[in-house]
Amino acid sequence: MRHFWLGLLLPLIACGGETKQTTPSATASATATAPPAPVIEAEGMEVKTRGQAPEARKYTPEAGVEQLITVAVARGQNMVGQQVKPTPASNLTFAVTCGEPADGQLTCRYEVKRAGLQTGAVPDAMKKQIDGQLDRLIGFSGEVKVSDHGLVTSVTPDKREDSVEQIAALGVADTVSKLFVPLPRAPIGIGAEWTRKREVKSDELRLSEITSYALKKIDQDKLEIEATVTQKPAKKGQQVEYVKGAKLDVTGYEARGRARYQLRPARAVPASGEVEVLATMTLAKDGKNDKSLALLTRSTYTTPEP
């Protein structure tokens, strides 16, 4: 049987991060300038439009300074065509501390500082029981390596002796890996647009993902970025375990989502963010369509004001 507190750690689709910038307050304009042609970069990145007054932007967190971020995730599931109501949000507060950058790479430590269910979402007795399970995640830690442009290269959770906790540690690590917005190496300004294409794993599925980003606003030390994401199966013939021991064929899958982030310079995690993704999945058994499901994920990112 899957533990409840493991079910709250399914991957987040979109992600956030911070950048360095010095442009004064401004808003996006339809007259944003563009390069003669898209700029193709590594890791599936492509700059469509550089925007107005483009500048080089990257992560510049101060070495040894602990940064806090709370990730709240609510999920819901229902049959296609019926209303999907998300579950009460579970909150995980991470401390992220990065070292000195080396060759454009940052090595950061992370640790779960707090965990619990959204206040007022369920009766007190139930919340106390669930919080007791989520408390087991406190202290889970590890290391994440990320480029100074927000491309995660690896996340390594610290080993847990208990096998169930080790699985949970992998879920925590996956959440951490999605806390960074990838930024182009090419200079960008207001109105800039860029995309990232990659293959990702969500539970048992391999998915082709395209995320499109747009820099909408710069206000003193804040960047506002909006994003959309689409996912489709990366290959045919995939299966998922719908219930324990019962594998079903995935005959259809599509996910669409949107996100908004507020970024500050000299941070390795977003100042705030909102993400919503709705996926539809059709499952079959013995060649006959069995279920058509709608899966909803809502995530928010919050950090203390400096």
CATH topology of domain 9-302: Lipovitellin-phosvitin complex; beta-sheet shell regions (2.30.230)
Q: Which helix (H) or strand (E) holds 199?
A: strand 193-202
What mean pLDDT is reported for the chain?
83
What confidence tens digit (pLDDT) does each residue in 187-231 have? 999 999 999 999 988 778 999 999 999 999 998 878 899 999 999
Tell me the pTM. Answer: 0.82
Cα separation, 275 vs 220, in Å, equals: 24
Cα separation, 68 vs 305, in Å, equals: 10
**Which region holds residue 128: left if phi is over 0, alpha if psi is between -120 and 50, else beta?**
alpha
Least confident of 83-92, 96-105, 158-167: 83-92
What confidence tens digit (pLDDT) does each residue in 224-261 have? 999 999 999 999 999 988 777 788 899 999 999 999 99
Whether the predicted pLDDT of 66 surpasses 80: yes
Query: Of 19-23, 269-273, 275-279, which has the strongest mean pLDDT?
Result: 275-279
